[in-house]
Chain A
């Protein structure tokens, strides 16, 4: 009895495989033909710029701490007006698992994963990307967000009380307030 069942199963499998010859092809002729990758596909990580063209990353370290493999290291610094930005920003792509946690943690939309996976290297060392390699010239996804316009921190060109939804600074010496 068992043996008959087994023979049936083998024949059925052969039949199913054979039927695939008449199905639509899933395999594409990569690299001549490129697959469609959705905009939210999680590939090569970039650092974006805000709508004003300045670096979006404020060096908050949240992406680094969210990264489960610890492959992001950075050092924050400030310009003379108090604006925070990363002095260096390094991703070791030989460790990155493209989980996208960094993008999720980023409060400024600076770090984004892109639909690109073509980054193989013969030398592992070449998979270490610095800020210059990561920074792109546009805002990527979320083109309108500018963290410094909402934050309370004063930076060059935006004093206290000039952020969105802020009133002018109070004068603590004013008696009638």
Chain B
């Protein structure tokens, strides 16, 4: 801690900050543009000027840029000094000489940092009388709108896009007051993190194109804390609703998870919620004796009674849960059918993979780092994961991790971390150790120290060899080639030499040996006194939660139904056709007398159900997800859906009540449901604490979901009825669907949005953090359910797999992941659907040659009677003897591993 004097008042500030950070942490108002907490300072905009004095007798002082001046002990500055104020006012006036007269039609308006800073600096009269320079905009694809005239040349966008996110197709062009921020030619921005430009840019140059289609100002959005459902990382989001429609997703800072950013899948995948195809009514599908089906809308009460009848009379019901459904939903299903009749909804393989990850993290000495901590690692090995496409935000963190080791150069010559330009100058293009071993090339390869593409078994063998190189007691495979041994040595040396080594693995290769190999490596490191971290990606938003709850696999469920041991099958938020072979799922529907599906989006599975119950999508209900780190996080209802739509767990509870298994009071609130979860499943104890209970009150008040400026409350429904309806009740959280309530310091898991007087943009965040870039006041949201075991490491996993053997006729299927397309729900979102790649079957050049096919030729993939045709894409990075299949796009059978597929050329006829 150091004492600094601001306007003659002493303040205690943390060491190592710059003055701007210090002032903002202290809650003082100081304007700025080019500094960004995640990007550091470059001193480009001159907006943050303050007066610095030599000592208390110095009355003259000099102007300094607060973002470029360390907050060193006893420094004396003035924010309120007349000259400094005038300087800041002048700077903003100059920045705005060419600014268009656009606020009313600018999507940034109302949350514009430029508006805020203009008001803060006091500039209000335009004296510039000449013509304004103008620019032509570019079409940057389906996500981002470009309005270049609004630029104030702060350079944040390029620094974010190129330096931070590693994008290449965006830059600054031209010179002096003509500088232009965009692409070299119009076209879709390639970075998977482009959406963050919307929040990084302090003006309306980059705005959300999906929001523009149903534009709403920030103050009119009803918001609540939520969790992204599009991958296993559980980034925190703020969905915004207006007129019963989800209007946008914004980042919600969580210092331990996503920090300041989101990936484009998370930001733009939301529109499935607004789809006209949504399941919004109870649907009953009647099949007469002739097999003719009629689909009709049914009344909720009737259907519940009908289902209660089905479930009574000694009928056996089984429940199939889902890794994309909340903990509560899976648990409610388990409670309805009984633990012995409950199935996780994941295939046997997936259940095994996720369970083994959890087991490793629970029994081993290695800690699973939070997403934020991944960025602190200084040597990383990625085993089998295409991180950018499977867990996108983890890739963004890895892009920061490679800066850690070379940063030592800057530290040595005394450059503080926040001095971005100086640090980058000192580090140049040096990158810290990052090793990537994957079946095919990945986007992160460009920053990797070295890469290794091989079949999954061979990746596991490399992992075993690394573990063996660290600790000779760790087993290694037979016949390890010199090349692999050499690489393993290099990786081992790098990991051992690091302060915070990290190994990343996951389920993408559907290969348990890879997961075990990763465990062996970190355990070997831990054994040799290197505090290594181990992070697994999780396939879906609640895979870990579903696995912690336990239950048998989907394969067993199908078998149970086939054997005639189940009359009623209840499926919660799961499209079985995406997971199991078509023939198997068809068999399930054939053998089951009654199938009930609860889901929010129409799927191949809902199409077959006898009864479909409309489930709430994530902004329409409450629940808890457990992310890959084992962090339980609550998502809170943003708005009340229309009609019969309700959370799946509420449907299941209604069924329990209807069948007389529970009384009406049971699980009346989410909190009570979670109390039952904790009681029944010790592995999930803690889930109840990830947000305060519904009875929580701040100074006796609830927390408002609507801004204090929320408009139109007496008119928005007046066309239906001029009398305003009563405020909807929320039994599940301390939030209210109102503008009234407590607005002040709150537990972070309840904060609907970040706003402070004078700070209407995302930059208001500094008012809610303990320190810049640090945790939110009162602690970041989420409860970690998985911590490493104390005591000695378990025994190494033995038996590395044999060397991958190429087969003569068949090829091993390797899933290739796509950020846009591989995930089920986001793929239903129209803006994102535009970016989904066309179907393909990828072959290595030698396989293509053997099959006599070239790029674009059609091949047929065959496996157990199923056939699928796709054009060939020849990829030199793919190992020989495999065929790359796009995950989530091709039929499930071709993705289940290990699948040996016969590939044949289809001759054009």
- Footprint of B on A, CB under 8 Å? 58-62, 64-65, 67, 69-78, 84, 90-92, 94-95, 107-108, 124-125, 127-128, 130, 147, 150-154, 160-161, 163, 165-170, 172-174, 177
Given contacts A70-B714, A174-B174, contact A150 B101 (CB under 8 A): yes
Q: Which of B23-31, B676-684, B718-726, B848-856 contacts A (4 or more CB under 8 A)?
A: B718-726
Within the assembled complex, what's the spacing in Å between the Cα atoms of A72 and B176?
A: 44
Q: Is the CB of A71 within 8 A of B715?
A: yes
Within the assembled complex, what's the spacing in Å between the Cα atoms of A3 and B560?
A: 103
Q: Is the CB of A152 within 8 A of B132?
A: yes
Within the assembled complex, what's the spacing in Å between the Cα atoms of A114 and B135?
A: 40
Report, nearest first, the 6 A-B pairs whose CB atoms are least far apart.
Answer: A152-B100, A73-B712, A60-B104, A172-B180, A73-B715, A64-B711
Q: Is the CB of A169 within 8 A of B136?
A: yes
Per-position binary interface string of chain B over residues 319-356, scored 1 when its CB falls under 8 Å from any chain A CB and 0 otherwise:
00000000000000000000000000000000000000
Q: Is the CB of B719 within 8 A of A65?
A: no
Q: Is the CB of B104 within 8 A of A177?
A: no
Minimum Cβ distance to chain B for residue A164 (Å):
9
Which of B176, B718, B719 has the most chain A CB atoms closer than 10 A to its own CB? Answer: B718
Within the assembled complex, what's the spacing in Å between the Cα atoms of A163 and B134?
A: 10
Given contacts A65-B711, A172-B173, contact A58 B105 (CB under 8 A): yes
Interface residues of B in 205-245 (CB under 8 A from A): 212, 214-217, 219-220, 243
- Give chain B residues whose Cβ lies under 8 Å from the Cβ of A128: 715, 718-719, 722
Which of B103, B136, B715, B719 has the most chain A CB atoms closer than 10 A to its own CB? Answer: B715
Per-position binary interface string of chain B over residues 94-107, scored 1 when its CB falls under 8 Å from any chain A CB and 0 otherwise:
00000011111100
- Give chain A residues whose Cβ lies under 8 Å from the Cβ of B109: 60
5 additional contacts (CB under 8 A) given A70-B710, A173-B173, A177-B174: A71-B718, A91-B715, A95-B715, A128-B715, A172-B178
Minimum Cβ distance to chain A for residue B128 (Å):
10
B133 contacts A by Cβ under 8 Å: yes
B429 contacts A by Cβ under 8 Å: no
- Give chain B residues whose Cβ lies under 8 Å from the Cβ of A163: 100-101
Which of A62, A70, A72 has the most chain B CB atoms closer than 10 A to its own CB? Answer: A70
- Give chain A residues whose Cβ lies under 8 Å from the Cβ of B212: 78
Given contacts A72-B712, A152-B149, contact A94 B722 (CB under 8 A): yes
Per-position binary interface string of chain B over residues 675-719, scored 1 when its CB falls under 8 Å from any chain A CB and 0 otherwise:
000000000000000000000000000000000011111111011
Task: Classify chain B: how many residues form its interface, as a range.
Answer: 35 or more
Minimum Cβ distance to chain A for residue B724 (Å):
9
Within the assembled complex, what's the spacing in Å between the Cα atoms of A169 and B137?
A: 10
Per-position binary interface string of chain B over residues 783-820, scored 1 when its CB falls under 8 Å from any chain A CB and 0 otherwise:
00000000000000000000000000000000000000
Q: Is the CB of A65 within 8 A of B219?
A: yes
Q: Is the CB of A61 within 8 A of B217?
A: yes
Q: Is the CB of A160 within 8 A of B149?
A: yes
Q: Looking across the interface, which residue of chain A has its beta carbon closest to that of B145? A: A82
B445 contacts A by Cβ under 8 Å: no
Q: Is the CB of A76 within 8 A of B712?
A: no
- Give chain B residues whose Cβ lies under 8 Å from the Cβ of A150: 101
Contact of B100 among A62, A67, A125, A151 (CB under 8 A): A151
Minimum Cβ distance to chain B for residue A56 (Å):
11
Minimum Cβ distance to chain B for residue A150 (Å):
5
Q: Is the CB of B711 within 8 A of A151?
A: no
Q: Is the CB of A147 within 8 A of B711?
A: no
Q: Looking across the interface, which residue of chain A has its beta carbon closest to that of B716? A: A73
- Give chain A residues whose Cβ lies under 8 Å from the Cβ of B178: 170, 172, 177
Q: Is the CB of A90 within 8 A of B719?
A: yes
Q: Is the CB of A153 within 8 A of B102?
A: yes
Given contacts A160-B149, A173-B173, contact A65 B134 (CB under 8 A): no
Contact of B147 among A67, A153, A166, A168 (CB under 8 A): A153
Within the assembled complex, what's the spacing in Å between the Cα atoms of A78 and B715?
A: 22
Q: Is the CB of A61 within 8 A of B220?
A: yes
Within the assembled complex, what's the spacing in Å between the Cα atoms of A70 and B132?
A: 37
Minimum Cβ distance to chain B for residue A58 (Å):
5
Interface residues of B in 152-177 (CB under 8 A from A): 173-176
Contact of B722 among A124, A165, A169, A174 (CB under 8 A): A124
B131 contacts A by Cβ under 8 Å: yes
Interface residues of B in 108-126 (CB under 8 A from A): 109-110
Given contacts A73-B718, A173-B173, contact A61 B711 (CB under 8 A): yes
Minimum Cβ distance to chain A for residue B43 (Å):
24
- Give chain A residues whose Cβ lies under 8 Å from the Cβ of B220: 61, 64-65
- Give chain A residues whose Cβ lies under 8 Å from the Cβ of B722: 92, 94, 124-125, 127-128
Minimum Cβ distance to chain A for residue B856 (Å):
35
B150 contacts A by Cβ under 8 Å: yes
- What are 18 pairs between A and B in contact, CB < 8 Å? A58-B104, A59-B215, A60-B104, A60-B105, A61-B220, A71-B712, A72-B715, A73-B711, A73-B715, A90-B718, A94-B718, A107-B104, A124-B723, A125-B721, A127-B722, A154-B137, A166-B132, A172-B180
Per-position binary interface string of chain B over residues 174-187, scored 1 when its CB falls under 8 Å from any chain A CB and 0 otherwise:
11101110000000
Within the assembled complex, what's the spacing in Å between the Cα atoms of A76 and B217?
A: 10
Minimum Cβ distance to chain B for residue A71 (Å):
5
Minimum Cβ distance to chain B for residue A176 (Å):
10
Q: Is the CB of A169 within 8 A of B134?
A: yes
Minimum Cβ distance to chain A for residue B110 (Å):
8
- Give chain A residues whose Cβ lies under 8 Å from the Cβ of B716: 73, 90
- Give chain B residues whose Cβ lies under 8 Å from the Cβ of A64: 220, 711-712, 715
- Give chain A residues whose Cβ lies under 8 Å from the Cβ of B173: 172-173
Contact of A76 among B103, B136, B176, B215 (CB under 8 A): B215
Minimum Cβ distance to chain B for residue A55 (Å):
13
Q: Looking across the interface, which residue of chain A has its beta carbon closest to that of B215? A: A76
Minimum Cβ distance to chain A for residue B708 (Å):
10
Q: Is the CB of B217 within 8 A of A65?
A: yes
Q: Looking across the interface, which residue of chain A has its beta carbon closest to that of B181? A: A172
Contact of A170 among B135, B712, B713, B723 (CB under 8 A): B135
Within the assembled complex, what's the spacing in Å between the Cα atoms of A163 and B719?
A: 38
Contact of A70 among B131, B134, B711 (CB under 8 A): B711
Q: Is the CB of B136 within 8 A of A152?
A: no
Within the assembled complex, what's the spacing in Å between the Cα atoms of A73 and B188?
A: 35
- Give chain A residues whose Cβ lies under 8 Å from the Cβ of B714: 69-71, 92, 95
Within the assembled complex, what's the spacing in Å between the Cα atoms of A86 and B711?
A: 15
Q: Looking across the interface, which residue of chain A has its beta carbon closest to that of B150? A: A152
- Give chain B residues whose Cβ lies under 8 Å from the Cβ of A69: 714
Minimum Cβ distance to chain A for residue B135 (Å):
6
Within the assembled complex, what's the spacing in Å between the Cα atoms of A77 and B107?
A: 12
Given contacts A60-B104, A73-B715, A160-B136, contact A65 B709 (CB under 8 A): yes
Within the assembled complex, what's the spacing in Å between the Cα atoms of A64 and B716?
A: 11
- Give chain B residues whose Cβ lies under 8 Å from the Cβ of A61: 110, 216-217, 220, 711
Per-position binary interface string of chain B over residues 259-293, scored 1 when its CB falls under 8 Å from any chain A CB and 0 otherwise:
00000000000000000000000000000000000
- Give chain A residues whose Cβ lies under 8 Å from the Cβ of B105: 58, 60, 84, 151, 153
Q: Is the CB of B102 within 8 A of A70?
A: no
Which of A59, A75, A78, A124 has the most chain B CB atoms closer than 10 A to its own CB? Answer: A75
- Give chain A residues whose Cβ lies under 8 Å from the Cβ of B150: 152
Minimum Cβ distance to chain B for residue A141 (Å):
18
Given contacts A152-B149, A172-B173, contact A62 B104 (CB under 8 A): yes
Q: Is the CB of A75 within 8 A of B134?
A: no
Per-position binary interface string of chain B over residues 70-106, scored 1 when its CB falls under 8 Å from any chain A CB and 0 otherwise:
0000000000000000000000000000001111110
Within the assembled complex, what's the spacing in Å between the Cα atoms of A127 and B719?
A: 10
- Give chain A residues whose Cβ lies under 8 Å from the Cβ of B215: 59, 76-77
Minimum Cβ distance to chain A for residue B684 (Å):
42
